[in-house]
Chains A and B, each alone.
Chain A
Amino acid sequence: GENVEQHPSTLSVQEGDSAVIKCTYSDSASNYFPWYKQELGKRPQLIIDIRSNVGEKKDQRIAVTLNKTAKHFSLHITETQPEDSAVYFCAPKGAGRRALTFGSGTRLQVQP
């Protein structure tokens, strides 16, 4: 099955700074790479995703970059705001699997 590692496990930044979270996966045939945001006690919500034929995708302050050769993809958040504070999960999908495999999460704290 797919092995997924996320780093760092916790990240504290000052408001306005950038944050980067990295996700490493093992299945070279993985073809879908989403990032989910989960606020305390709430459901995970998709914030951005990328497919294997694209290297980078941006949506306002959020971007995802993919390096298929090295088997990792990263979430970039610029101009962080306190409302960005949450746990972020990567969840790559291997080609042979119907479901996502979630990383262990990164707790982002944005200090005002």
Chain B
Amino acid sequence: IAGITQAPTSQILAAGRRMTLRCTQDMRHNAMYWYRQDLGLGLRLIHYSNTAGTTGKGEVPDGYSVSRANTDDFPLTLASAVPSQTSVYFCASSDGIGTDTQYFGPGTRLTVL
């Protein structure tokens, strides 16, 4: 593994189902982030974690939850998916908080029907 990996690459999900998007980084970065990207809109921060064991809410956290049990993994869970959660989801990481560059995973394309 080099960098950030995300799984699955894409998924079609029925509304009401529970779904966990996985994100793993091998750079030993302290901070991790989840964004969603929708056509015509900028990336929007869902949740973030400044260090293992801590998480925080971003701009659009409703309907999503995260956990950060260790440095490498930062899963994003949709408890009960709705069609408005159809989007491309990117996980990112940075060495520290503040102005450190964020590095992005390849993304998960999620469709909720």
A interacts with B: no
